[in-house]
Amino acid sequence: MAMPRDIAQKWVDTNQASLTALSDRIWELAELGLQENESARLQEEYLRSQGFTIESGVAGMPSAFVATYVAGSGKPVIGFLGEYDALPGISQKPVPYKEPREEGAPGHGCGHNLLGVAALAGAVAMKEAAVAGGVSATIKYFGCPAEETLIGKVFMVRDGVMDGLDACLTWHPGATNSVWSNSSSAMNSVKFNFHGRTAHAAGDPQNGRSALDGVELMNIGANYLREHVTEKTRIHYATTDGGGQPNVVPAKAQVWYYVRAPLRQEVEEVFERLVDVARGATLMTGTTFDMEFVAGCYNYLPNKAMGRLVHENLKAIGAPKFTDEELAFAIEMEKSFPANYREIMMRNPHTPRELADQRLNSTVLPLRDDLPPMAGSTDVGDVSWVVPTVQFSTACAVIGTPGHSWQECAASGMSIGHKGMILAAKVLAVTALDLVLDPAKLVEAKEEFVAVTAGQPYKAPLPEGAKPPLDLLSKVKKG
């Protein structure tokens, strides 16, 4: 009789063509965050065809959903996190040189087409193994929108969508086969709206109160603030409304800020200081301001017990094997990287030495506990504060590929990305089965979670009554 782990992997292999087709269709759609209605619908249809029940439009987001399958007693409850949002302006064909599918349109420059389908496949493969092997579990796949703007999972966690899980698994396309054993940055994303008074900029400037002056003085103050925050704090902004034309004193202006730091508490402390900077700008300009809190998230808490399981399964299943054609693709794509990119990459003391001679990662990197927190942020962090969570990456892109780039978009729509996706699906499925079939492993993960979060209860980083900003990217070019 076949073992559950073997059944799960065989299901992924047997259904590789349909999974790849689904990923490629989502890659072609390239829908932006909170606008991924067709991508979500395609995933819902696939999961429904596999026997899952679907709850659509959860947490006030039309493109968010939960798919559930109950096997046996329904215990324990295992979750899989999927994403499918694209990024603006990086449309690209699956070729190793820059050639947009449509100039200025969105593209999957973070591989979320692969991410969602592999997590979906992991959930279905686990279900097939559970049914065939008489394994009890509730299997949940979470269709999570708008990760790029750090919105989807934060609202889903706040609204209790993740409640009742015993463990949660996810992954992210990358250039290496490795476990995410380090944390990430917590973050606030907030728009500051300044309000002034219009006047003729030449004829009666004394009657004007420039909202743009308020924005600019806030930005100056924020740049001075940078000198007096902790080393790993990041403050970045974009002026999203600077007025209409030079001869009219602008009555409104807007600046959009991100504040990041290794810990949630640090973000909140620096953000309060930033708000004080905004208040000072209004005093200097005779303006007022209000805020639109777009999103906030926690730092990611890696679960080491689950990370060890993932690492062993990555090694057992094995890194992707790449063809001569795929290596030629990588060599051609390297021509678009900075001339000294490999030297810079290897200068980083945390870069594994074995990558020096690889273009496509054909090994499983060692499990490490000494890595510093990532500067970037992910709303997986919020999930990790309410349930034991593990995340890993597989080789879906050429080593050295910039994040959020046309190069990553290209690899996400062709065989290099497909191979990493299939590996990720298998690792997700068998790791979830490990947690169910060996209860001691799940207990270990839960005990670690309780110890790490002790005395630090999760509190949603959203203002009271906040609603998902469904129109946040509605004006961005769709293609």
Enter the pTM of the model.
0.95
The Cα-based distances of 282 to 194, 216, 218, 222, 223 in angstroms read: 8, 11, 9, 14, 17
Q: Count of CB atoms within 10 A of residue 113's CB?
A: 31
The model's pLDDT over 352-406, given as tens digits with 9 standing for 90+, comes to: 999 999 999 999 999 998 888 889 999 999 999 999 999 999 999 999 999 999 9
Sign, CA torsion 94/98/103/107? positive
**Predicted local distance difference test score (pLDDT) of residue 371:** 87
The model's pLDDT over 363-375, given as tens digits with 9 standing for 90+, comes to: 999 999 888 888 9
Mean pLDDT, rounded, for 73-88:
98
**Which domains does the chain show, CATH number per domain?**
4-184+299-453 (3.40.630.10), 186-292 (3.30.70.360)
Mean pLDDT, rounded, for 55-69:
98
Residue 229: HSE in the Cβ half-sphere, 13 Å Cα cutoff: 23
CA nearest to 394, candidates 450, 455, 321: 321
The model's pLDDT over 14-24, given as tens digits with 9 standing for 90+, comes to: 999 999 999 99
**Predicted local distance difference test score (pLDDT) of residue 476:** 83
The model's pLDDT over 405-427, given as tens digits with 9 standing for 90+, comes to: 999 999 999 999 999 999 999 99
The letter for the amino acid at 114 is L
- Mind giving me the DSSP string for 5-26? HHHHHHHHHHTHHHHHHHHHHH
With 0-12 CB in 10 A as exposed, 13-18 as middle and 19+ as buried, what is 84?
buried
Residue 474 has pLDDT above 90, yes or no: no
Please tell me whether residue 414 adopts helix, strand or coil conformation: coil
Please tell me whether residue 460 adopts helix, strand or coil conformation: coil
CB 102 within 8 A of CB 91: yes
Mean pLDDT, rounded, for 291-299:
96
Q: Residue 171's pLDDT band (boundaries 50, 70, 90)? A: very high
The pair of three-digit structure tokens given for residue 91, joined into one six-digit string: 């449309």
Residue 479 has pLDDT above 80, yes or no: no
CA distance 75 to 72: 8
Q: Count of CB atoms within 10 A of residue 389's CB?
A: 27
**Predicted local distance difference test score (pLDDT) of residue 182:** 94
The pair of three-digit structure tokens given for residue 115, joined into one six-digit string: 């991410």
**Predicted local distance difference test score (pLDDT) of residue 350:** 87
The model's pLDDT over 42-56, given as tens digits with 9 standing for 90+, comes to: 999 999 999 999 999
- Mind giving me the DSSP string for 178-235? EE--S---EEEEEEEEEE-B--BTTT-GGG-B-HHHHHHHHHHHHHHHGGGS-TT-EE
Proportion of the chain above pLDDT 70, given as a percent: 100
DSSP letter assigned to residue 107: B
Write the CB contacts of 174 (distance below 8 Å, at least 6 apart in sequence): 393, 394, 395, 396, 397, 420
Range with the poorest average pLDDT among 179-183, 237-241, 338-342, 454-458: 338-342
Characterize 160-169 residue by residue with b for buried, 16 or more Cβ atoms within 10 angstroms of its Cβ, and e for exposed. Answer: ebbeebbbbb
Indicate the average pLDDT of the chain.
96
Mean pLDDT, rounded, for 48-68:
98
The model's pLDDT over 209-226, given as tens digits with 9 standing for 90+, comes to: 999 999 999 999 999 999
The model's pLDDT over 106-147, given as tens digits with 9 standing for 90+, comes to: 999 999 999 999 999 999 999 999 999 999 999 999 999 999
CB 389 within 8 A of CB 169: yes
Residue in the structure block whose two tokens are 């400037």? 205
CB 465 within 8 A of CB 202: no
Residue 17: HSE in the Cβ half-sphere, 13 Å Cα cutoff: 1
Residue 315: HSE in the Cβ half-sphere, 13 Å Cα cutoff: 9
- For residue 80, what is the enclosing H or E element? strand 77-83
- Within 335-455, where are the H helices? 341-347, 380-384, 406-412, 415-437, 439-453
Q: Residue 1's pLDDT band (boundaries 50, 70, 90)? A: low
First to last CA, the chain: 51
Residue in the structure block whose two tokens are 């003391």? 349
Please tell me whether residue 292 adopts helix, strand or coil conformation: strand
- Mind giving me the DSSP string for 250-291? -SEEEEEEEEEESSHHHHHHHHHHHHHHHHHHHHHHT-EEEE
**Predicted local distance difference test score (pLDDT) of residue 349:** 87
The pair of three-digit structure tokens given for residue 247, joined into one six-digit string: 């001869």
Relative to beta strand 186-195, strand 288-297 is: antiparallel
- Mind giving me the DSSP string for 295-320? EEEPPP---HHHHHHHHHHHHHH---
